[in-house]
Amino acid sequence: MANPKAPRKSAASDPKASSLYVQSVEKAMKVLMAFNGSQRQLSLSDIASLTGMDLSATQRFTHTLSTLGYLNKDQGKKYELSPKLLDFTFQYLASSDLVNRAAPYLQQLSSETEEATNLTVMNDTDIVFVLRIVSRHVFNANVIVGTRLPAWCTAPGLALLATYPDDEVDDIFERSQFMQYTPATVTDIGQIREHIHRIREERFAHVEDQYFYGDISTAAAIVDNNGRGIGAVNIAVSRSRWDEKRDMRRYADLVISTASSISGKRHN
């Protein structure tokens, strides 16, 4: 979602130009990120062409990452990602005060509604799913731990943006790409800003069909002592199970009270 024209924060000195910056770390991460949903197994030359590195550099990084256990090499000499990469997610989840506090509330919300509930956090211009409890009714296999969606068109993203000062929202919008993900996606920045003002009054965000067609999502922000959003709780319902009269106010109240309970339990 980053827009290369608009540099992050002030154009101070480039942290990548610093003598402290270790380029090999960037290259190793690039190799790991070359694998994605459509590319499960990659050969050395696949990785070279996807990362733009020459073969000998590629070989050094695949050797290193295999030795450290983050890549597996099969008999056909193709590489694939190793489950050892999940150690990072474990470390992140286990060390997160927010995740630990939110988990039982999310579970309760899911039992009560029998719908999918999520905990998301902001990362750059996106929301990232950190905890997801799927209901017995729906299972959107497209959303998993680590899924990243743009903040501007998702209920959790809008709920979080509503807790930020306007200049910060502007900065995030400048670096976002307003794409028409479904025929219903609202891409007009003026309208999105109005929506954010409404969320500030109503304390919840509600969107329908904005990123996934048929997806209805209601979210509220978990805030720190200064009222700044540090995460969001949402309930996601498929249109086939949605009854506006019955669900609209009920789900709004549920996410608001859940987010507020989690916010209230902060230790610092």
Between residues 5 and 226, which has the closer beta carbon with respect to a copy of itself?
226
State yes or no: residue 89 binds a copy of itself (CB under 8 A). yes
Q: Considering only residues 114-133, where is the footprint of a copy of itself by CB under 8 A?
A: 114, 121, 123-124, 128-130, 133
- Cα 156 to the center of its chain, rounded Å: 10
Q: Considering only residues 5-64, where is the footprint of a copy of itself by CB under 8 A?
A: 15-16, 18, 20-22, 24-26, 28-29, 32-33, 35-40, 59-61, 63-64
State yes or no: residue 87 binds a copy of itself (CB under 8 A). yes
Rg of the chain (C-alpha set):
21
Identify the residue among 47, 48, 53, 65 touching a copy of itself (CB under 8 A): 65
- The whole-angstrom separation of Cα 74 and Cα 76 is 5
Q: Considering only residues 168-227, where is the footprint of a copy of itself by CB under 8 A?
A: none
State yes or no: residue 3 binds a copy of itself (CB under 8 A). no
Between residues 96 and 238, which has the closer beta carbon with respect to a copy of itself?
96
Residues 37, 211: contact at Cβ < 8 Å? no
Identify the CA nearest to 152 among candidates 180, 133, 131: 180
DSSP 66: H
Amino acid 42 reads L
Identify the CA nearest to 50 among candidates 25, 33, 28: 33
Identify the residue among 145, 186, 189, 248 touching a copy of itself (CB under 8 A): 145
Which residue stretch of 107-115, 192-200, 214-222, 233-241 sits at the interface with a copy of itself (rule: CB under 8 A)?
107-115
Spatial CB neighbours of 223, under 8 Å, sequence gap ≥ 6: 163, 229, 230, 259, 263
Q: Output the smallest distance, CB 213 to a copy of itself, in A.
A: 20
